[in-house]
Structure 1
Amino acid sequence: MRQTPATTPLVDFQVYEPVLTPSGTSDQYGCIYTQTLMSYVFSNSYGAPFVGEYTPPPCSFNRVTMNFTVQSHGRQFDRLGIMYLGDIEVFRTSTAEPTANGIIWSYVKEMEQYNALWGTNQKVIFDLGNLVNSVYTGSFATELVATFFTVPDTQSTADIILPISAELSSESMGSAYSVPGQNATNFYTLPPNVERAVISLSACGQIDEEFWYTNTFNSDVNTFESTAGTLYGFSPFREVQLLIDGNLAGVSWPFPIIFTGGIVPGFWRPIVGIDAFDLRQHEIDVTPFLPLLCDGASHTFEIRVAGLNDDGAGHATLSEIVGSYWVVTGTIFLFLGQDGFVTTGTSPSIDTPLPEIQISSSITTNSTGANETLTYNTAVTRDISITSTVKTSNGSRKASWTQSLSYSNFNSLTDQGFVQLTIQNTTGSDLSSSGYANTYSYPLTVNSSFSVDAAGEVGINGTLTRGLDYNVYGPSVFPSGIQTFNITTPSFFSPEGALAHQNIQLSTNLPFFSGALLSTTQTGSAEYFSGVNSSYSFGTTTQDFDFKGAEANAPDVTYELYHRHVMAVNSTIAEDEQTLAGETFAVPIARAEENVPAPAFDGFGVRALLGRGPGLPKAGLMGAGGS
């Protein structure tokens, strides 16, 4: 059936657990204060971020939420955005791709992990590079509002927060490092009385590295040079490394983020990819290093990104560089003990053997002798263990940080490089002596094909299944989502995000939770077409999302707190059911938009398009899914 084109904006959204924020203006626990941090339109904004000033609210608070709302219309790539308080990254996001009739979305984020920053005046920098011209007409009109309030039960937050960044806020610029190309190293002399230290890593690939999990080995990059073009190298494996004084302190094996221009744009209207509006940071407990770090000397903190170098004979080692490029920062969270006390202890025992790596690849040719297929496999495992004895103002204890990770990837390029199948999974387990534990799994299957005819008309077809399982127990630096449900007076709060404006009050009979268990899966199929006079993309995507709490006194007992099943067909929400703490709610259905325009194919290489989504700018400017 032919649908009537809509005239109202399409409401895009990321599926995530609701964030409860206070309603009204004040409460028995203190004031409720809101402050607009940014109201700004990003047009031609490369190298010209928003710069504003934040002043603390005129009342005490221990919780902060932030609402980011964006509107756009026209044609545009998706773009990467990073918010800083001074030199410290506090929020990494990306944009949806607009339509002719416009789009709008909001995302609500818990931000109390940065209370040490919110307590003082800050320079707010929001770096969202965008380019507007006669073809790509979409600007991004944004509003960022923070809400400050107090709840009676809270978890402790860091006393001091330091950046691992380029520290460019004094020049009113964003402070992310670009790796390779920049040395992502900072030097600090830490306070002597630190009793716990955690470092988070924020990293995502761009340009040649945006879809790193489809990359091949360096020895195979020219397999289809005469047909599909040069492939991207350094293998489909990536490791983000944290080094302290040159010693490996922990790693992050990245989640395969897919921005809204990725693979095929029709996947992501109006449901965007997992974590696309809020790129997750990975935390590493470096408390075992405190006897070294609290000695009054300067120490180095460095972030590197590694792939694999291969010898062409089935052997590989970690590479010192990867392709261009990764956007990285780190954040150091310090928890202090008593004033005047000097933390001491034993030197850390660092057990970080090289990962075990297995690779293989094979090429077949057709009757003419031309390369027809390339198939390659990668498997990597790694174990990390760092321990010491730490003596703080609270006594002597053993401090430890361990990681156990496993990775597998299968890629098959057929039809002389025009069709690609990727099957990948990453699993990991992180454990700290603080009681923090994190287990995670990132399964991904993507199948995409590219075609172009003599008239220059381009088509892409794709199917995918991807997931995120992410379980957090104990004292995470970042809110795990469980804090919302552990509030003793839930009637004070109303849900924001997916269940906004539903006027829901949580039951006061919920148990206290010590763990947050998140599991979500997206499946879909989509097509893209770019002709002489038009381009569009459409598709079907289904997402199931489960968020559970693990009871504090019985961690094996879980309680479903939020569930959502949603299906989008050609930009229309066809199914949407949500359940919050046992109560199911109907959700308004979004409207359709016919033949949603997509960025046009600009005639450059197949490898810049196949598996990546259309319309990568020729200028090589920083952005997401199209830069």
Structure 2
Amino acid sequence: MKEGALHREWSLWNQWVLQQKITKTKLSGHCHKTKPDQPVSEKLLYDAYPPEKKPEKIDQLVNSMSFRSFSKNFIALAAILYILFGGMLRSFQKSCSEGGQEIHLSNIQHAIDDGILQTSLVGNQSLHEVIDIPYYPVFNLSEPVYNKTLLSHTFGLSWNKPVLVKYSPPTNTTFNRVALTLDTTVDGVQYDRLVHVYLNNNEIWRSSTIEPAGRLSHSRVVKDVTLYRTLFEKEGDLLIQLDNLVTPKLTGKFNVTLTAHYYNDQNEARQLPKFHPLTPSKFGVEVPPISYDAKVSVPLPEINANTTQLLMLLSTSGNSAEEFWYSNLLDEYKDQFLSNNRHFYGHGSCRVINVFVNGIRVHSTNPTPYIFTGGIAPSLWNSIVSTGAFDLIPYRVDLTPIIPLLWDESAELEIEISNCIDDVDSATAKSGIGSNWITSATLAIWEDETIDFSYGDIHSFDNSTKVKRFAVNPPFSGMLTQILKATYSNTFLTNLTHVFKDGNESNLLYSYENTIKQTSMIVLTKNADVQTGLYIPSSNTSIKVIGDDNSLLKDSQSLTNATLASKLSFLTPLLPKEIPFHVDLSLSIGSAAYKDDKLLAERYARENGTAEFTISPNGNHGTGSVLHQYTLRDKNGSTYNREALSANSTILYDNVTESIAYSEPLIDILKSFVDLDCPSTEELNTLYNALNTEDSQTFIPEIMD
């Protein structure tokens, strides 16, 4: 087995650790070679795109004098970091042997590279169901007024072969809500793959597939796509991209069915936008409208004078050498542990998505740390996938502040994925990032037909960027500590005046503030045989709209945060050429939205997992256990909770609890009791079902009195 060819099929930080010797044709990320003399890149497999440019090497970041001063305090710092990380990872110590089946991976000979691994699951060969706990669960669906199968296709050897079908809306059917169901069945041996769904050059869903592990496996995912309803109301081109390779050893073919469900919901009264694709395919409707570059420049269209809101929906995700960017080392340290056969990717562990218009930075976003089913250790995700793996939510970028730039002419939009350090480093040679990020963007446009024309200007704007880096690698210590901290801030004040067809005017002052922060820490000890990582991004975006009389017409705020903590430890091999290791993982993703200082919705997802895995020429094997927890709280205080535990390819439990708080439904019920001397048993039961436990203890005695 070639040690340098160990693939992401069992990847821990995607070859952060176990790619021990760099071969001419190394494997990484979701991308697989087509020719032995080509580097791996999904980008290279689309002939329309030029080969990747190699980023220039960055200058030395910390001089030797700084290192000497840092070394004096290294032991104390390392102790503090271990205390910090230890507290976050302490919950991992639960045993993984709670049942289920052990996953075995057997080393095979492969036509491309003799080090690729084949997965097989020992035990039950019946249909294995893999589920997700969605970050945006679909609630309150009534009976659909129409169902339609949009696609039923087997993606075998489908690399660079997306499927194009003609879409037509249902006839003689009134609908105002749309949901999509993605059913995927796969058998044999296969990697996880990205799935892209495009409608009229707009990416409306980015998902990924399960890894079958030699077992007939199925997944079903539901996504509410009502936001894109105007696209579903007219005929168009529907393109589905699932780049897959099939060889004598990679046998998995994905049988995919995409179904649309149409609803006529009485409670659906949102004004929905029209859409303009910002990254349309330059090579026809049969080529995916995405970019594989770190920097994407596209024109923003000239907009109508009655436009009231602009929102960019940005889909981008790290791939290949950038899939686990938060584990990458600064360039000067990436080869530090090669003598111990430990390889790392470079460009540092900080990434930020910056958006510019005519050279002015208007927004910054932290990328979400999605983990796909082959990520870190696939035995963790064989029953329940990690948060967001089946639904990579697009980033929302409010471009309303730059509306005055687009009334009379187009503007230049630039999307850049940065390593943070280049944004403040004055060095001529920049580090850049690795290959690659997959990006698409769509502009959502809201218009008001009662507006005759508009005028205004950008009153002021301001940007600030702060990036701090710290790295210390004492000689002969076998240790490295790396810390990167970044803060980005963008503010705008824009004057907008809308003149309505009836002669009235609306003078608005639009205030926009966007701040993101992130911290990444990596501690390597024992010559990188023990690797601890911590990634903490957060963001705060607020929008205020002030009217003519200084009245506050709109006051909204959105917050996001995440924490990814991991510890990987190599174990003593029992047999020659075996590579055993232990992984502890904790991932949490949270968000909250406020309007007028009142909560609209709050979401929180958390995963705590542990796995042991052994890479062996006699057959790789491993176990994994993950506890998934999800909470959704709405503006009324009602909560939805879901908790599930999986161990060794078996779901041990999956529980959902809900509570309805003291809110409008409860008030309506209470009003119906006002004229009653005493509620009936049936009425009390109705009331009880509308209350959570605390409310029941408070209100039922009051009613009975």
TM-score range, shorter chain: 0.7 to 0.9
- Partner letter of residue 525 of structure 1? T
Q: Quick one: which of 465, 468, 480 aligns to 1:374?
A: 480
Post-superposition offset of 1:529: 2.6
Q: Give the drift of 1:459.
A: 3.0
Conserved 8 A contact 2:364-2:516 = no
Aligned equivalents of 2:381, 2:100: Cα separation in 1: 21
The 3 A distance-change label for structure 1 pair 457 and 393 is farther
Does 2:592 correspond to 1:466? no
Which of 518, 521, 530 is the aligned partner of 1:419?
530
CA distance in 2, matches of 1:173, 1:473: 40
1:515-526 alignment, distance < 5 Å: 515-526=600-611
Equivalent runs, 1:326-341 vs 2, <5 Å: 326-338=437-449, 341=452
Identify which of 87, 93, 116 aligns with 2:230.
116
Rate the CA distance shift 1:474–1:330 in 2: closer, same or farther, 3 A.
farther
Instruction: Give 1:8 deviation, angstroms.
Output: 1.5
Shift of 1:456: 3.6
2:269 is equivalent to residue 269 of structure 1: no
| Per-residue CA distance 1:212-253 (angstroms, 9 max, x = gap) | 001111232221233335522221111111111221111111
User: For 1:469-480, what aligned pairs fall within 5 Å after superposition?
Assistant: 469-473=590-594
Query: Which whole-Å CA distance do the structure 2 matches of 1:267 and 1:318 have between them?
Result: 40
- The CA deviation string for residues 70-129 of structure 1, in whole angstroms up to 9 with x for no partner, is 111111111111111121111011111113231111111110111221111111111111
Kept after mapping to 2: 8 A contact 1:78/1:259: yes
In the TM superposition, structure 1's runs of 4+ consecutive aligned residues that sit over 4 Å from their partners are 1-4, 21-25, 314-320, 450-455
Alignment of 1:485-500 (within 5 A): none
| CA gap 1:340/1:470 in 2 versus in 1, 3 angstroms | closer
- Give, in whole Å, the separation in 1 of the partners of 2:572 and 2:410: 57
C-alpha distance after superposition, 1:20-72 (max 9, x if no partner): 365546xxxxxx11111111111111100111111011122211111111111
- Residues in 2 aligned to 1:53 and 1:435: alpha-carbon distance in whole angstroms: 42
2:466 corresponds, among 338, 352, 356, to: 356
User: Within 2, Cα distance between the matches of 1:225 and 1:400?
Assistant: 51
| 2:138 is the alignment partner of 1:19 | yes
5+ residue gaps, structure 2, are: 1-98, 102-121, 501-505, 545-553, 662-705
Aligned-partner SS, 1:113: helix
Q: Which has the higher strand share?
A: 1
Match of 1:501 in 2: none
The answer to whether the aligner puts 1:564 opposite 2:642 as a matched pair is yes
**C-alpha distance in 2 between matches for 1:249 and 1:2:** 50
Q: Any conservation in 1 of the 2:586–2:606 contact (CA below 8 Å)? A: yes
Q: Once the two structures are superposed, what CA deviation does each residue of 1:254-290 show, in whole Å capped at 9, x if it has no partner?
A: 1111111111111112111111100111212111111
Residue 685 of structure 2 corresponds to which residue in structure 1?
none
Q: Which stretch of the first structure deviates more once superposed, 239-248 or 344-353?
A: 344-353
Deviation of 1:412 (Å) = 1.1
1:549 to 613, 626, 634: 634
CA shift in 2, pair 1:240/1:430, >3 Å: same
Q: Give the C-alpha shift of residue 357 in structure 1.
A: 1.3
Greater CA deviation, 388-397 or 151-160? 151-160
8 Å contact kept, 2:100–2:650: no
Cα distance 1:273–1:316, how it changes in 2: closer, same or farther (>3 A)?
farther
C-alpha change, 1:459 and 1:220, in structure 2 (3 Å) is: same
> How far apart, in 1, do the equivalents of 2:229 and 2:363 lie?
25
Listed as ranges, the gaps of 5+ residues in structure 1 are 26-31, 476-512, 552-557, 584-627
2:3 maps to which residue?
Answer: none
Which residue in the other structure is 1:212 paired with?
325
Q: Any conservation in 1 of the 2:352–2:420 contact (CA below 8 Å)? A: no
Which residue number in structure 2 is paired with residue 188 of structure 1? 301
Deviations 1:5-28 (A, max 9, x none): 212222111112542365546xxx
The Cα of 1:389 is off from its aligned counterpart by 0.9
2:579 and 2:412 map into 1 onto residues whose CA distance is 49
State the partner residue of 2:413: 301
CA distance in 2, matches of 1:155, 1:209: 41
Instruction: Using the TM superposition, give the Cα deviation of residue 451 of structure 1 relative to its aligned residue in structure 2, in angstroms.
Output: 6.8
1:231 is matched by which residue type in structure 2?
F
- Aligned amino acid, residue 138 of structure 2: V
Residues 145 and 169 of structure 1: is their aligned pair in 2 closer, same or farther, counting only changes over 3 Å?
A: farther
| 1:391 has 2:497 as partner | yes
Q: Check conservation: 2:315, 2:441, Cα contact below 8 A.
A: yes
- Amino acid paired to 1:559: S
Q: Aligned-pair distance for 1:424?
A: 1.8
Q: Indicate how the Cα distance of structure 1 residues 393 and 6 shifts in structure 2: closer, same or farther if over 3 A, else same.
A: farther
**Do the aligned partners of 1:566 and 1:575 also contact (CA within 8 Å) in 2?**
yes
Judged with a 3 Å threshold, the aligned counterparts in structure 2 of structure 1 residues 571 and 422 are, in CA distance, closer, same or farther, namely: same
Q: 1:429-508 to 2 correspondence within 5 Å? A: 429-433=540-544, 434-450=554-570, 455-473=576-594
1:527, distance to aligned residue in structure 2 (A): 2.3
RMSD between superposed Cα atoms in Å: 2.7
**Retained in 2: the 8 A contact 1:402–1:431?**
yes
Q: What displacement does 1:416 show?
A: 2.1
TM-score by length of 1: 0.79
Which structure would you say has the larger RCO, counting Cα contacts within 8 Å and 6 or more residues apart? Answer: 1
2:160 equivalent to 1:50? no
**Aligned 8 A contact 1:241 1:251 in 2:** yes
| Aligned counterparts, 1:147-226, within 5 A | 147-168=261-282, 170-180=284-294, 183-226=296-339
Q: Offset at 1:187? A: 4.1
| TM, length-normalised to structure 2 | 0.70
In the alignment, structure 1 residue 69 sits paired with structure 2 residue 154: no
1:320, distance to aligned residue in structure 2 (A): 8.0
Shift in alpha-carbon separation, 1:168–1:51, aligned structure 2, 3 A: farther
- Greater fraction of residues in helix: 2
Change (3 A) 1:266 1:127: same
Residue 341 of structure 1 aligns to a residue whose secondary structure is: strand
